[in-house]
Structure 1
Amino acid sequence: MAGENHAVDVLLEALQDLAPEDFLQFKEKLSYPSYKERWNIPQNSLEKAGQACALVNCMKEHCGEDIALEIGTDVFEEMNRRDLADKIQDEKVREYKKKYRAHVIREFLQHEDVNACLGDNLAISSRYTNLTIVMKPRTERKGEQETISLSQTHADTSDQQADTVVSVAQLFQPDEEGQAPRTVLLVGAPGMGKTMTVRKIMVEWAEGGLYTQFDYVFYLNCKEISPTKEVSVVDLISNCCPHRSTPIRKVLDSPQKVLVVIDGLDSLRFSLLQPEDDVSSDPREKKPLETTLMSLFKNILLPEASLMITTRPTALQNLGRCLENVCYAEILGFSAGARNEYFHSFFDTDYKADTAFRFAKGNKNVFAMCFVPIMSWTVCTMLEQELYKKKNLMASSKTTTGMYISYLTRLLKCRAGEGKQDLQQFLCKLCCLAADGMWMHKVLFEEEEIKERGLDQPELLSLFLNENILKKGTDHGNVYSFIHLHLQEFFAAMFYVLEDEKDTGGDSGTYMKDIKVLLENCRTSRKDLLLTVTFLFGLVNGKAIEYMKQRIGCRLLPRFKEVMLRSIQTWPRGILPPGEGTRKIKDLAVFHCLLETYEEDFVQRALNCFTAIDFHDMKLTLYDQTALSFCIRHWNGLASVTFKGCSFKHRDYEEELVPGSASGERQPAEEQPSPIFPLCQALRNTSSQVETLRLLWCGLTEHCCEELAWLLATRPSLRQLELGDNTLGDGGVRLLCKGLRQPSCQLRVLR
């Protein structure tokens, strides 16, 4: 049957079915010199082709198979045999659909990874993780407090959001009235996964698993299209196709079967304000690219075709004016469960993935930003390097600030090579905005303020801020917010150390620029500034300063380092003057600030005036213990350590893993490290002569006693150990006795 043959076979069958006089007429039309400006078939060759098979071979020999089919189709139409022309064309279309889907799979199945070896690519299915996509009205306005809450739990998929969360497969589904959207606008901040999502869509469509209502899905990458070139829709579609024989006419005959994906529209920076009389309804008419796209958006060109447009939020205002029957969808990034899934797709073993995820989850400031896929990639990349060098991430040099710096340089990678001075000035203004916002408890910034500060540079601003479109009738214009509150806190810290040769144009007065005021307010009354201060300590690290300078040309000045050192030395409230009794550290924030500096000399100078740790009623995450362990190892004068009513978390994320998954299975208890392993390891490796250790009401069990016994055997300076109100059991007591019997144990008091 024709449907099972190639198009050439259909041409052959059509010629064989012709009456003799019609066959001669077909040959006669082929004898015209350069038929329709195509290759000429010599007359003597046509005369020799007395049979259908010989004629087809003659046409293929002189014109090639594709041109032969085009010529055959045109001749049949001139002979008023549209039925035969349609048979050939239909078979060509069937063949082409298969070729095109195979081409899409080749083009989109794999993607380059910057960590891969030269020439190596990764299958998109091996790295892609489903994102949280929410359908929401474009004009919805959020209040200040609601925005703060959203920025802190940006990727939450709680029950309240369940009715608005959708999958990619649902984007073109009909609504309750049976109306399917013609246009889907997929919005997301930079690094949120828009391009990876549409690449996954292309592959799944080509494999037959998604959007089966479309015969063709064409992908237009706006970053690869010249914005000044005049093009038609036919040109844009043809550029997506690898074969010369693209059946454009057949494609355009069924526009309802076509989906055009326009990726990264914001990169073209079009105003989209073309006059109505400039648009065109002819798909073959060449117009400026902006006009051609406007004609598509306004349903003037291919009004029955479907569109999917990806863009950053900053392009929404102009785009919204020219779209009709549009569905707005926002990518919110990874949920907590999806972050775990991404880590397991990134690492080659479950052990590495579990170790890295546990470490990231323990650092709430890093984990919160991992809702952004590019931040998850940054964290995984850095932890992969650490795991390659050493197995214990507790000794990792990758601080929270370091991960945010890597995230920043990754976002600015494509722009760091040009205009570094302009970039420095932009960041100065952005940091000033962030700092002012933190001081004034402000996370929403009006459009007028953005312009007054000289921040209205869409290609840079959209990397860090979301644009919120307000309801019609409001007189405040649009408002902006940082994509996450933690990112605003990071830039607020940069405000104090970023070199600025010009006035930033902000409202920050001397009071707000005084780092002493910042540190004092954080210590006494403004605990909401703690993360900003923590980032500040990380930004004065010498390696961080050099890294920022080399990667993106930003100059950081560690001018406040001595002031910051003195602030640590006087941080605990109510301490005794030097030389008058025990000086205790009671605030975990001290250790987090010192960890961020990651400079041994600075840590030693900061801590040597203290002799004790005294923590009460704290829940210590894995990252808390990392900070604590780092400082203990470099603390020369530590004599006493007290934990009362504290808990030591080691595996605190299982409840968020997908039930039943291999990675969600708990390790047997005997394989899990003791919760106090990081603390005991640090005490064994410190240069201090620790004499007293109190672990009271800390929920210790027999599982912890082996570490304590080993500590007794290796720290002869330890004189007093208090373990009251724990459930050690008989087995735990026997383990402690084993440590007490070691010759090196000098313990005098055990309670």
Structure 2
Amino acid sequence: MKKKFECIFEYDTKTKILLKKIYTQLYITEGELKDVNKEHEIMKIDKDFTVKKSEGKQINCNEIFSLSEENKENKVVLTKGIAGIGKTVSVQKFILDWAEGEANQAIDCIFLLPFREINLIKDEEFSLHELLQEFYPELAKVNETDLYEKFKLAFVFDGLDESRLPLDFSVRKVRSPQKKASLNALITNLIEGNLLPSALIWITSRPAAANQIPPEHVSLFTEVRGFTDKHKEEYFRKRILDDNDASKIISQVKKSRSLYIMCHIPIFCWITATVLQEMVVQNDGEEIPITLTEMYIHFLLIQMRIKNQKYDEKEERDIRKLLKINREIILKLAKLAFNQLIKGNIMFYEDDLRECGIEVSVDSEYTGMCAEIFKKESVLHEKQVYCFIHLSIQEFLAALHVFNSYLNKKMNELQFFFKDHSPIEVSLYVLLKKAVDEVKSSENGHLDLFLRFLLGISLETNQKLLQGVLPHTELPKKSISSYIRQIQNNSSDLSPETSINHFFCLMELKDDSLNNQIKKYLCTDKFPDRKLSSSNCSALAYLLLMSGDVLEELDPKKFNPSYSAYRRLIPAVRCCRKAL
């Protein structure tokens, strides 16, 4: 908030520098594609932050509220993007540019309201002004009439997938900022435009949770697609200051197709740079990880090594011994991660930590874990809360807890997956199937990445990396093979998000069957009657977009004449020289 009032929303110098270096792209997905063969020029705000329209035109993210062809304001903008793709950073960059006077100066006040902090507010009735004071106590000094009637306001709701509110749009109408109502009623009436109809709203979400907002209430749909190939290389060169080291790492990343594709996710680029800087540069070419799970395991190992050196003043290079030394605190954090993930919590209090055996005031082990895995934050009214450095870290550790509980036959820890009964013992296949069922039933997709990590940890190679934390147990490979067949033979028509997540699950299991099948369909005329399922069409489009492959020609109807199916291939038009 600035201009007429004291500045409430501020960034320190370190945050400003960080945001100036971030490369993030938003791709506008507004309506149907038009004139798909037309070449569009690129418009950039600067080299750092761009938005891309569905037909391929890059535009300034700071203009998301004014992109309407009729020159009207977009009252409500909904931005979706997968975990770690840069949604929150996009929001921060938008507000930073506004606060520094570089963009959107017609807006007088911007209120950032992250859902993860909204979750901490007790369920009681507030007026809008009282709710805002929970986040910005300085508003108590502001004249309410001036604020809501004379000034242009914008509200940013970050992380819809993290919300524990029902977001029921059938609640009673609220039209006055002074009228008390539930949190759900205040937020839904803001989005609908009943409350402060001139206010601008920006909502970010993971894809699976985005459908909680009825499309009729959204003026513009956008999607964060992450780094382009050019941005990936630029990121590594900025992150790793030594040019030779940066070149080594870029070369290693490009050797692994799956790794290179995943590096379009900024958080994954950060973790990859951290891991490869040690493995490629310091260890001179140790075999590099190529899956998400492998990368996160190595990231955990590096953090344990740093902890031992910095806080315990010990040098331990043996992986098994390193994990064994830190096994207790890792498993405590893993239990915390899972217990809170299934509750939908990503911020915790000291009581939550104590339930898992972590005493932050006396636990010396905790201090070392804080650096890049776990942190303490001050939120509403300077309340002290705790969270993992990124939600994906919580999801990885949650999967580790589940797998460790399975190996140690602690079925009481797995009751979440067996609500109807308490089995004494189950096969790995049954556990994975139960986990898949839970993911399917999740309305906001908050278990998608957890499932990928769980499958990844089930591989024998990853269990060997985790020896010292996990007990050594011979698991039948038949369970994994059976699960792979289940994914391959899944004939039900899945949503694009679910089918893409299944594709990623196969990648975590190092199974290239779907990828090879799609390539065969693309590269040969031996299958005149070929027909991809709708889910495979989604996977194909995603594969082509992220791989950078260029097709000579794409005719979506060749793969499936069904409108709902071939329509899912349309985004791949950007990856072909000619489209029919």
After superposition, where does 1:119-134 map in structure 2 within 5 Å?
Answer: 123-134=17-28
* Structure 1 residues 561 and 428, CA gap change in structure 2 (3 angstroms): closer
Match of 2:70 in 1: 177
Match of 2:150 in 1: 254
Aligned counterparts of 2:83 and 2:3: Cα–Cα separation in 1:
39
Q: Let me know the Cα RMSD of the aligned residues.
A: 4.4
Distance 1:224 1:193, change over 3 A: same
For residues 279-331 of structure 1, the C-alpha deviation after alignment (integer angstroms, 9 at most, x for no partner) is 2111022211011101101111000110001112222223116x525210011
Indicate whether 1:413 and 2:393 are aligned.
Answer: yes
Alignment of 1:395 onto 2:291? no
Give the direction of change, closer, same or farther, for the CA distance of 1:324–1:211 in structure 2 (3 Å limit): same
Q: 1:319 aligns with which of 213, 216, 233?
A: 213
Task: Give the C-alpha shift of residue 332 in structure 1.
Answer: 1.5
Cα 1:300–1:197 shift into 2, 3 Å: same
User: Which residue number corresponds to residue 104 of structure 1?
Assistant: 9
> Deviations for 1:131-163, whole angstroms, at most 9, x for unmatched residues?
2423234999xxxxxxxxxxxxxxxx9999553
Distance 1:327 1:561, change over 3 A: closer
Q: Match for 1:281: what amino acid? A: R
The Cα shift of 1:210 comes to: 1.9
**Would you say the 8 A contact 1:135–1:166 is kept in 2?**
no
> Residues 428 and 268 of structure 1: is their aligned pair in 2 closer, same or farther, counting only changes over 3 Å?
farther
Instruction: String of CA shifts for 1:336-370, please: whole Å, max 9, x gaps.
Output: 11111221232233333322222112211211111
> Is 1:235–2:130 an aligned residue pair?
yes
Percent same amino acid among aligned pairs? Answer: 22
1:539 equivalent in alignment to 2:462? yes
Quick check: 1:182–1:306 contact (8 Å CA) kept in 2? yes
Q: How does 1:569-584 map to 2 (within 5 A)?
A: none
Which residue of 165, 178, 199 maps to 1:284? 178
| Alignment deviations for residues 220-274 of structure 1 (CA, whole Å, 9 cap, x no partner) | 111112262322221233344363533433221235x211111112222333224
Q: Which residue of 2 aligns with 1:559?
A: 475
Counterpart residue number, 2:204? 310
Structure 2 CA distance, aligned partners of 1:275 and 1:370? Answer: 41
3-state DSSP class of the match of 1:209?
coil
1:193 aligned partner, one-letter code: G
Which residue of 113, 124, 138 corresponds with 1:220? 113
Aligned length: 356
Whether the aligned pair in 1 keeps the contact of 2:392 and 2:449 (CA below 8 Å) is no
CA gap of 1:429–1:298, structure 2 versus 1, over 3 A, is farther
Aligned counterparts of 1:216 and 1:159: Cα–Cα separation in 2:
26
TM-score by length of 1: 0.41
Structure showing greater relative contact order (alpha-carbon pairs closer than 8 Å, 6 or more residues apart): 2
- Per the alignment, do residues 172 and 557 of structure 1 end up closer, same or farther by CA in structure 2, a change over 3 Å counting? farther
Distance 1:319-1:94 versus aligned 2 partners, 3 A rule: closer
Corresponding residue of 2:104: 211
Is the partner of 1:261 in helix, strand or coil? Answer: strand
Change beyond 3 A, Cα 1:174–1:331: closer
The 5 Å alignment of 1:144-159 reads none
Between the aligned partners of 2:200 and 2:208, the Cα distance in structure 1 is 23
Decide whether the 8 Å contact of 1:105 with 1:207 is kept in 2. no
Deviations 1:435-470 (A, max 9, x none): xxxxxxxxxxxxxxx76x6642346645439xxxxx
3-state DSSP class of the match of 1:374?
helix
Q: Residue 333 of structure 1: SS of its match in structure 2? A: coil
* Structure 1 letter corresponding to 2:238: S
**Structure-2-length-normalised TM-score:** 0.52
1:279/1:424 CA distance change after superposition, 3 Å: closer
Q: How does 1:49-128 map to 2 (within 5 A)?
A: 94=3, 96=5, 99-100=6-7, 103-106=8-11, 110-111=14-15, 123-128=17-22
Q: Which residue of 2 aligns with 1:329?
A: 222
SS at match of 1:376: helix
Q: Partner residue of 2:269? A: 376
Could you tell me whether the CA contact under 8 Å between 2:158 and 2:205 is conserved in 1?
yes
Unaligned runs of 5+ in 1: 1-91, 112-121, 141-156, 435-449, 466-481, 499-535, 550-554, 565-595, 597-654, 657-751
In 1: Cα distance, 2:17 partner to 2:31 partner: 34
Partner AA of 1:238 in structure 2: Q
Unaligned runs of at least 5 residues, structure 2: 35-49, 301-333, 335-389, 403-412, 419-427, 481-509, 511-547, 550-580
